[in-house]
Structure formats: structure tokens, C-alpha cells
Structure 1
Amino acid sequence: MTNILDILKITPSSQSTDFVENKKQFQLHTLLTEQPHKNTWNLSFVMNENALDGLKMIFSVDEDISTKFKELVKDTNIIDNAANSIVEAIENRKKIYIYGCGATGRLAKQMESAIWRPFWKKVKQHSLWNKLKNQLPKNIEDRLIGEMTGGDRALISALEGLEDLQLVGSLQLLDRGVEKGDAVFCVTEGGETSSVIGTILTAVEQYGELTTEKIYDAKKLLYFIYNNPDDVLYPFDRSRTVIEHPAISKINLSTGPQAITGSTRMQSTTSETFILGVILEEGIYRLLKKLLTLEELSELGFSQAEPSLDKFASEMGLLQRILSFDRIMSYIANSLEEIARFTVLESETYKNKKHATYFARKALITVFIDCAERSPTFRLFPLDTVMEKEPKCWVQVWTAGSDYKEAWQNFLSRPFRGLEERFYKADFETKIDDFYLKQSVLRSLSQAGQEQEKMFDFSFSKTQTETREPKEGDLAVLICMDEEIDDLLDTSSYEHKFISLTKEKNANLCLILVSNKKPNEVQKIINKLKADNNFFTSNDVVINITMNKTEDDPLNLRRQTLLKMLLNGHSTGVMVRIGRVVGNTMTHVNPSNLKLIGRATYLILSHINDVVSQKEWVQKYGKTEPITYSEANAILFEAMSFVQECLEKNKPISEVSISIVRIMEALKTKSYIRWENALHILETEGLENYLSQYNPSLGYHS
């Protein structure tokens, strides 16, 4: 053990001691999703030299998803059963409940608001609804509930402490009226999220004492979807309880390490998004094929539907749906040069202390999710409330709507849902023994209620354009899907008005178009826009992705997944280029819950011990003992206090980065260094350049 705490005059806080000694079940650095990926180990150095090469590295990791799916189709029984659970739930007038936390919570919201509800809205507007309405629930669009830890408010940013308690997931399931016989899908990137585990275990409890018959009934309807190998999860009691439970069906989608170490919003959530979407798509198809002809199914988007009169034909249809993921990757690969231009443009926008505004309608929730998830991953201010006089967040998201309420409705395809204190508070006060967690959870509950709806306005309205319009040098990003592309030429449309505002204010523009239109049709529209010199400059970017018109995508799953992957790769590249990543490590992670405190601790430990083991360090400063986990954690908790003071001055910095610099300087000089001195060094040199002085091999690539 080093004497680093003595040098820095730090006594471990009670919270740090409690975390190290009592929170070992949240020290998750052994998980496969927390390991660095071999394809991207020097990503930050490559990305800063050449954005295209960097993006190729990032997107190469998606090949791991493809490999997993090819394994999955060798035995589709569990996916087949899951699709049947959708049919059973609807036919029995039951609900479908999808629950997740963080990235998978946003996935759950996406399944409801961007996949399920729009499809049934389309069906109800079609003449075929007259044939279906007496055979399906009249409120079928409400039959799927997508919920996340913390409710709709948590879409914006994390509500601290909530994900660390099984109690939270349990209460939310009961609050949403989920009962025995409902189909329940609980999704967790890592397989260890407490709130998600609490949800699935409570769903099992609703079946009472488990007989052989009840186990069979429950297993048909209860699914746990996760992304780490079982043997890696076994040391964690809560995960093992689910994995070994006979009444829960497990769908393990483990793909390996993420493109950015621990960034499970990427490959983990992509694989889970796609497979859960396939389950819904196949379930709806099986439901409707009992009621409609093949020609009628084709009118609703199932154009490749075949008469599935036997199990083999049904399995082939499911297999093809899963394997269609590869085509999504090919569309992205064919657009990488344009995506790279977009990545450079947005990163330069932020380097120049400018802002970005994204506008979307059909793609809104997918766009919103990517923008919101940048905050915890890269230590940025979360999306601004209406109370902010000057923007703190670098990005804002707009959609159609005259005010905040209409924007939320367009966003979610339903009214905003908060967590009501009257349902949760008493249980939080009486059933949480951990003092620190109780305080954190009660504080978060006060920020999760129905009143939060009016705190966030995403409308492209007069109020917004008067106070938060794009300015000269800012970036405006417009995302259009399908028929929205035609609206680009309609001067009364939101899309055309957004471009006009952008150019009126001398902001830069990126136009992202995703459709199954013929390429020449879309190009004609682009050419007409370009003919107006006011609409396009040499800085502007157009990303035009036209998918094969013959491919089925009745729920828009492939379009939304494609856009998710594109934006995830792009925004990661942006953050790498502005110094928020070193190598492929998340050095700007926000330690806002127990899992992320553990990740931040391990990042500090890993970077310090890697440097002091290098021959360059030893030759210059002598042999240095590695720091311990408890030392790194004690310094992290003190850093959290200092960073909070900086945040109150509108100065976001990273606890991990400043801790690394302070420890390194103390080890070099064997003397005390203040946080302010470490911050000055960090701001002057940047973490990547700072570490490279002592570890030249950090950025090596051939």
C-alpha cells in the first residue's frame, strides 16, 4: 500500500468506508461489460487524428452483436416463447410491461412510444381496423407499458439512488397495475441492476407458492434480458437469484466489452433493443395472422408474410427478423464518410463554445435518448430546465408542439407519467435501512413527480425560438424519417421552418434522412433544397440513408435501431474529440449511483497503476507501490465534494480525471497538492496529454 492518503492529508469519509466495506455487491469491475474492448483500446488517439478511422473502430464493435445473433438463431425457442407471450397477453386482455433502468429504461420507453403506440395508431387509421376492432382490445395501444426506474422524469437525467434498490422496481410494478398473467420483460444491460431485479422478482411473487404448474405459467410470461455471462454474474447475490430462478425465462444477449469501457448504452442496449423489438414484431404478426389475410398483413407492413402453417415456417420468419440486423450495419458502413463529417462538425461546435439543437418528430425518442445519455457518460450538464436563463447543457432537443405539454404528448404518444409521493414515500421512509441510500432516494422522489412535466419544454414554439434559438456558429441537426422527408419542401412544415430558422441565424446544418424511399427520390428533394443557396453551405452535412424498400419494417424497428447506432457512434466520437475519453475508458463518468461509483474508483485505480508500472515512470521517479481500491475510493469521494462546488459555479469537471492528476502529482513530488492545483494542470494539459507524458505507449497504433 502507498502512503498516498497521508501525502494528500485525506481520511476516508464514512461514505467511502461504507462503500468499500459494505457495498462489495456494487463493485462490478469484474463484469465483461466493464472490460476494455481490444478493437478500441487507443480510440481517443485515433479519433483525434482521423474521425473516419475512429468511427470505423467504434462501429467495428457492433460486429459482436451480429456474432451473438448468429448464435441465437441456432436455437430460437426462448425468443419464440417470448413472441407467443405477446399474443397471449393481448388475447387475454392482459398487459405487456417492459421495465429497465438508465439506458434500458429509455429502451422500455422507446418500445412503448416509438414502436408499439405508433404501429397501433397506424392500424386504427387504416380501414382494416373495422375488421379488427371487435377482436382486439379497443385500447390496444395502452396495453404495453414501458417504464423505467424513476418514471418519465428519469428520461432527462438519473435520479440518484433509485436504481440501487429492488424496492423501487417492485413498487413501480405495483403502481402501474401489473398483475399475474401480464407479460413482463425486465431488461438490464449488465444483469445486476437492483431495481430491475426487484421488478422481476415481484412479478414472480404474484404467482404465489410455486407449484410445477405455476412455474410453467410464470415462465411463459416473465422474461429477464441481460448482457453478461452467467458465470461472471454469479458472485452477485441478486443476479444469481434471478439466474437460478425456475419461474423466470432468461434471455442472455452477452456480446462482450463495449466500444467505450462500461458504456452499455452502446452494444448491450442495441442488442436488447433489437431483440425486444423483434419479439414485439413477431408477436404482433402472429396475433394478426389469425385475423387477416396475407394481402391485408402486407398493407400493414408485413409484406414478406408467408402462411406459417407449420412450426418450421414460423421459425424461419423469426430467424430472418433477427438476422436482418446485419443489413442495418451495412447501411451505416456505407454512410461513414458523411457521419465522420457530422462528428467533426459537432465537436468543433463545442470546442468553439457553441451549442447544438436537434429537431425530430418520428425519430424523436431515439434522438432524445442519445442526447440525454451524453450527460452521465461524459460528465455534461443534463438537458436544461425552463428555469435556466442561460443554457448550461450543450445540446437541446425540439419537436413539434405549441407548448411543453403538447411536446411531451408528441414525445411519449401519451401524457407524462411521474412518480407520486403518496404511493412511494412511506415505503421509502420505513423499508430502507441504509442511511445514505434513504436520503438519496427521498431526494430523488421529490424530483420525480407529475410537476416535473412543466420543467422541460421541447416544443419548437414561439417561446423557444425567442429564448433558445440557434445562434451564429451553432449547429442545427434535423432528423427526418420517411414521409417527413417530403415535408422538407413544404414551407408550412416544422422541418422547413427549422431549416429556415437555422439559416436565418447563420448556424450550421446537418440533415439526417432515413427512409425506404428510392434513392433518386430523396436526392431530388436534397437537390431542390441545395438550389436555394441560403439553405446549404460548405460546412453543412447531409446523411441520406435509404433502406431497401422490399425489407419489412412494420414497426420501424430497423429504422430506429439504425438511428440509435448512428447517433451513439457519432456522439461518442464527438466526446472523444473534445477530450472526454482516454483510450477507450470513460474518464468523465458521473459517479451518480453505486455502480458508477465503483466504475469511477476502478478507473482511477487502473490508470494510476498502469502509469506507475511503466519503465518511463520507474526510471524518472523510482519504483512506486500501486494504489489500492480503498485509497482510490477515498480520494474519489473527496473529489466528489470538490466537483460539486465547481458545478455550482457552472464549471463541470470530472471526478475521475482530477483525481488521477492529483494522485500522480502527489506521487511524483511525494508532497501535498491542492485540488485547485490539480484542476489547473488538468485544464492546461488535458488528461490524455498528461498521461501520455508518463506512458508513451498509451496512444500507440500502427
Structure 2
Amino acid sequence: MNAIEQADAFLAVADQFKLGELPTEQPHLLTQDLSKQALQDLPAAFGALKQVDLMAIRRLRGYAPGIMQLADAIGKTIDEDGRIFIAGCGATGRLALTIETLSRRAALGDELKERVIGFMAGGDAALIRSLEGFEDYPEYGARQLLELGYTAKDLLIGVTEGGETSFVIGATEAAVVDGGRSPWFCYCNPDELLYKAAARSEAVIENNNIEKLNLNVGPMALAGSTRMQATTVQMVAVALALRYYDRSGFIAAELEKLTTMAESLNYEVMIPFTEYEARHYRDGGHVLYHTDIFGMTVLTDTTERAPTFSLPPFENFQAPGQPASLCYLSLEVYEDAASAWDGLLERSPRTLEWDGVTDVAGYGYFLGFDISSKAKSIREQRLQKQADIFSIERIGAGISMALGPCHTTIETVDDEFWKNIILKLLLNAHSTLIMGRLERYEGNLMTWVKPSNNKLIDRAIRYICRLFEQRHDTQLDYRKVCYKLFDIRETLKPDEPIVLRTLDALENQ
């Protein structure tokens, strides 16, 4: 299809993807100057991000009764020899896989080691390189769930930040089995706004055979960047429900504990790391992250930088023509890709061997992402320069970080799960402000968003309209912007911001 036909195809379904009124898509009032602060005042920038995190975490405490009900449903499933499935897409897909891995490591209790199955849109290959197109297909969610062997004894928790992701809705609806348990649907936007935005959301929320857990915590620190506050509160909620499936009365106290930890956490220890890593990228360098028990958390943050800020994603070493990502992950204790993935996931990978998708989601393709000890030599040979090593390791009850001349130890509780949550908060803030120093957003709008699915196309159009109105006090027609966006996309270079290029084209007409 040409650009006009592609725009027509999107506009035919656009009413189901116009999500601008949802809180998770709205810009946050506390971070309106985030891009300027990232460049000029990092203490203020980290302070703003911490405040948004704290607002979300404090609001999460109010949802303790719903999390306790989920824990009780999990407990009944465990008692009756069922398994817990967790479905997600993109950031929530990585959440699902992270929780499974923590369960297999017994970080959430010995009883859960073989009882939790996480899966994401696109299979495990999407963990390291986003496969955004999969999220628009509810039938894919249903198919992946059933291929994993879901039965009436099992319980599904469908996790979607916005509450409108078609893949997760498809999986959740497929889990409604005659004589089976009611699946749970976990999301972060008000019901009434979701009903207006997407009929598919209303259908799943109004389904009496599906239980709901609404964790609305307001706008994200970076508008639409649900990898941050929304995914944090959802990960905490689902993990605590699993950990305390037989002691749900402890959950409220654990949420208070998280609040205390977050309040005392010093985000500013990341300032020298943020300055150094951003400068290193501007100078043409690359960074190799080394870690131990934090592999899933580090991989999640580094992977999600690519789709959020239109960076080159982690390259597959079987495809030498791909541009190199700014950073990569290396698990030094493993000697090859297969053992590294088995070790990271605590199981063999689950890839999609479906007709037509094995080239992006199959096992052979997946092994081209070599995160073993070989990653360092492969990357340095390809890039003809040494990588700077960012080491993030467990040290006693704390987390040790080292990058170039930067060193710090973050004191935390001696608990693997909470360590990973604390690290997630710090890395989310760190990577967001690196991207601010590389000018990958304006204010708190993701001007480098990559419109690779219907939700992101709508987001790009909305940002163009908002920025045009801010600059000219005049509103643009949504359809006109849509056609121009698809026209610009035809000639867009890999390292160009489609929002800003389309905006420039509209201003110069």
C-alpha cells in the first residue's frame, strides 16, 4: 500500500485507538520541563521523576484490598494444583517474564518455582527486541495462551498498562473456559474513559466472567511511557499477590514498606552515571551492561530504550547489516547464547515457530542475540572500539554500580524482589534522563516515538497536534496530520524523529 492507502486504513479504525484522554497517555504536570531539566539541572530532573514515582506508589497503597483478592484467587489455584499464567505486551510482557523468572529463582517463595508461566506478545524473542505489531491482534494472545497448555484448573492474569491492548484482551477472553476459573484483568486507567476510548476495553471490563484489578495511578512522568510508573505498580501488585497467596493480610504492610523504601531512596546517586553515559554516547561510544541477579531488570530497561526513543534496537549478530545499539547486555558467567538465555530465564526459551514469523520470533533468530560473555568481543570487533562496562551487581544487602570513574553502592533490604524494584526505579529515571540529554523528547512528550502500531500512530499524531498548537495557538485537523505522517514515514531515515519532521512539514506548507 502507498502512504495514502496506509493512512486510509488507519483512519478506518482510528476511533478505537484515539487514547489521548486516558491518564496513562496524558503529560504529567510535574515534568513539563523535563527535557530542559535533563540538560541543565539533573538534580531537579531526578527530583521530579522521584516525585512522580512516589505519587504512584502512594496511590498503590489504596488498592491493597483488590491485590489481596487476587492473592486469594492465586491461593485457591495453587491449593487445587493449578498454575498461574501472566500475559503482557511490550513493557507488561517483560513484567510477566520477569515475575516468572523471579518465581523460578524462589525470590517469591519456594512453592511457586514451577507454578508461574509468563508470556508476552511475540514470545520470548520480543523480550530483547520489540515486536510492536503483535499487540494489535487479539487472536495472537489467545493462540499463545492455548499453545502453552492453559486448562480450566489454571488462572490467567492479563496485564496491560492502558487497559486497551488487543493481545492481552484476546488472551484474557480466551481464558474464560467453561467450568474454569475467572481470569483477572489488570490495568491502569479509569473504566469510564476506557469505555469511551475503546469498545474492546468495555467488553472485557464488563464481562462478568472476568475479575478486574484497576490500578489507576495517573499520568506517567514521560507522557505515554508506561514502562515507568504503570508497569512498576503492576509488577509490585502481581508479585505481592503471588508471594502472599496464602497470607494476603501481609500485603498492605508490604506496600507501606515499599513507600518507605522509595521515600528514602536517593535518586541523585545516578547523576554522575547519567552524565557519563550520555556523554559517552554523544562521543560515539557504546556501553556494555554486566550484571548478575538483575539480568531481567537490566535487559528490560536497556531494551525498552529503543522503541521509546527510536534508537537502534539490540542487534541480532546473525544479521551483520543491522545498526549497532548504543548499549548491550553481557552475562559473563555464560559461554554461549543458548546457555545465557537458559540462565537468564531459568528455563529454555519459548519462541514462536509459526509460519511467517520465525524470522523475527523463532528460536534460531533468538539465538542471534548473544548476551553471553562473547557479546563483548563480538561488539568490539563490529564497532572497532572498546566498550565501556557498566557493572550492576549484588553486594551484600545492596546494589553495586560502576561505570568509568563512577562508583556507588545503594543500600537496600536483603530481598531479591525488592532489590529489583529499587533498581527498576533508578534505571527508569537514569535512562529517561540520558535520553533527555540526547534530546529525544520535548518537555515530557516523546517526540522520537516510533509509530509502529495503531496506538503509537495515534500518539504521534496527537503529539504533532499538541506541539503545533503550543507553537501557533492553532489547532490542526487530525486527518490532515495523519496523511502527512504517513507521507513523511515513506522517506524517514532511521535516526530521524517522525514527530518533529512531520511538524516541520506542516509548518512549512
Common fold, TM-score beyond 0.5? yes
Question: Does residue 195 of the first structure (1) align with residue 183 of the second (2)?
Answer: no
1:593 counterpart letter in structure 2: N
Residues 486-537 of structure 1 show CA distances to partners (whole Å, capped at 9, x for unaligned) of xxxxxxxxxxxxxxxxxxxxxxxxxx528xxxxxxxxxxxxxxxxxxxxx99
Identity among equivalent positions (%) equals 32
Question: Of 262, 272, 287, which residue of structure 1 is paired with 2:234?
Answer: 272
Residue 340 of structure 1 corresponds to 271
Question: Of 325, 328, 344, which residue of structure 2 is paired with 1:396?
Answer: 328
1:18–1:52 Cα change, 3 Å = same
Distance across 1 between alignment mates of 2:90 and 2:379: 30
Question: Does residue 601 of the first structure (1) align with residue 461 of the second (2)?
Answer: yes
Question: Of 633, 650, 664, which residue of structure 1 is paired with 2:482?
Answer: 633
1:453 counterpart letter in structure 2: F
Question: Of 60, 65, 72, which residue of structure 1 is paired with 2:63?
Answer: 72
2:287 counterpart letter in structure 1: A
Residue 500 of structure 2 corresponds to 657
Distance across 1 between alignment mates of 2:223 and 2:345: 31
Question: Of 300, 312, 322, which residue of structure 2 is paired with 1:369?
Answer: 300
Conservation of the 8 A alpha-carbon contact between 2:160 and 2:186 = yes
Shift of 1:464: 3.7
Distance across 2 between alignment mates of 1:195 and 1:93: 27
Provide the aligned length of Structure 1 versus Structure 2.
504
Shift of 1:12: 6.3
Question: Does residue 247 of the first structure (1) align with residue 209 of the second (2)?
Answer: yes
Listed as ranges, the gaps of 5+ residues in structure 1 are 1-10, 124-135, 208-213, 287-307, 309-313, 426-441, 486-511, 515-535, 614-624, 667-702
Question: Of 459, 470, 479, which residue of structure 1 is paired with 2:392?
Answer: 479
Question: Does residue 59 of the first structure (1) align with residue 50 of the second (2)?
Answer: yes
Question: Does residue 547 of the first structure (1) align with residue 459 of the second (2)?
Answer: no
2:268 counterpart letter in structure 1: E
Distance across 2 between alignment mates of 1:224 and 1:95: 16
Shift of 1:143: 2.1
Shift of 1:14: 1.1
Distance across 2 between alignment mates of 1:42 and 1:251: 32
2:316 counterpart letter in structure 1: T
Conservation of the 8 A alpha-carbon contact between 1:349 and 1:474 = no
* Structure 1 vs Structure 2 CA RMSD: 2.3
Alignment of 1:312-323 (within 5 A): 315=249, 317-323=250-256
Shift of 1:87: 2.5
Distance across 2 between alignment mates of 1:390 and 1:158: 15
Larger CA deviation: 653-662 vs 596-605: 653-662
1:230–1:604 Cα change, 3 Å = same
Distance across 1 between alignment mates of 2:342 and 2:489: 37
Residue 105 of structure 2 corresponds to 118
2:327 counterpart letter in structure 1: V
Question: Does residue 282 of the first structure (1) align with residue 244 of the second (2)?
Answer: yes
Question: Of 471, 474, 477, which residue of structure 2 is paired with 1:611?
Answer: 471
1:179–1:122 Cα change, 3 Å = closer
Distance across 1 between alignment mates of 2:126 and 2:32: 31
Distance across 2 between alignment mates of 1:106 and 1:478: 21
SS at match of 1:184: strand
Residue 47 of structure 1 corresponds to 38
2:133 counterpart letter in structure 1: G
1:547 counterpart letter in structure 2: T
1:565–1:120 Cα change, 3 Å = closer
Conservation of the 8 A alpha-carbon contact between 1:338 and 1:541 = no
Residue 383 of structure 1 corresponds to 314
Shift of 1:665: 2.7
Shift of 1:451: 1.6
Conservation of the 8 A alpha-carbon contact between 1:331 and 1:547 = no
Distance across 2 between alignment mates of 1:456 and 1:381: 14
Distance across 2 between alignment mates of 1:416 and 1:583: 39
1:93–1:105 Cα change, 3 Å = same
Question: Of 186, 196, 206, which residue of structure 2 is paired with 1:225?
Answer: 186
Residue 341 of structure 2 corresponds to 408
Question: Of 74, 79, 101, which residue of structure 2 is paired with 1:86?
Answer: 74
2:244 counterpart letter in structure 1: E
Distance across 1 between alignment mates of 2:72 and 2:269: 41
Distance across 2 between alignment mates of 1:20 and 1:218: 38
Residue 123 of structure 2 corresponds to 151
Shift of 1:42: 1.1
Distance across 2 between alignment mates of 1:107 and 1:263: 15
Shift of 1:446: 4.0
Shift of 1:544: 1.1
Alignment of 1:16-55 (within 5 A): 16-55=7-46
Conservation of the 8 A alpha-carbon contact between 1:158 and 1:592 = no
Conservation of the 8 A alpha-carbon contact between 2:108 and 2:243 = no
Shift of 1:245: 1.3
Residue 153 of structure 2 corresponds to 181
Conservation of the 8 A alpha-carbon contact between 2:30 and 2:52 = yes
Conservation of the 8 A alpha-carbon contact between 2:440 and 2:446 = yes
Shift of 1:50: 1.4
Shift of 1:483: 5.3
SS at match of 2:162: coil
Residue 588 of structure 1 corresponds to 448
2:262 counterpart letter in structure 1: M
Shift of 1:255: 0.5
SS at match of 1:396: strand
Conservation of the 8 A alpha-carbon contact between 1:338 and 1:542 = no
Residues 405-461 of structure 1 show CA distances to partners (whole Å, capped at 9, x for unaligned) of 11111111111111121xxx4xxxxxxxxxxxxxxxx5x554211222221100113
Distance across 2 between alignment mates of 1:390 and 1:592: 18
Distance across 2 between alignment mates of 1:254 and 1:19: 28
Distance across 1 between alignment mates of 2:428 and 2:139: 31
Distance across 2 between alignment mates of 1:120 and 1:547: 15
1:243–1:49 Cα change, 3 Å = same
Larger radius of gyration: 1
1:403–1:331 Cα change, 3 Å = farther
Distance across 2 between alignment mates of 1:388 and 1:264: 32
Residues 659-690 of structure 1 show CA distances to partners (whole Å, capped at 9, x for unaligned) of 11222233xxxxxxxxxxxxxxxxxxxxxxxx
Shift of 1:465: 2.3
SS at match of 2:427: helix
SS at match of 2:200: helix
Conservation of the 8 A alpha-carbon contact between 2:359 and 2:365 = no
SS at match of 1:64: helix
SS at match of 1:192: coil
Distance across 2 between alignment mates of 1:466 and 1:252: 45
SS at match of 1:218: coil
Alignment of 1:459-608 (within 5 A): 459-461=372-374, 464-465=376-377, 467-468=379-380, 474-482=387-395, 513=400, 540-548=405-413, 553=415, 556-608=416-468
1:121–1:557 Cα change, 3 Å = closer
Larger CA deviation: 11-20 vs 581-590: 11-20
Distance across 2 between alignment mates of 1:577 and 1:331: 26
SS at match of 1:385: coil
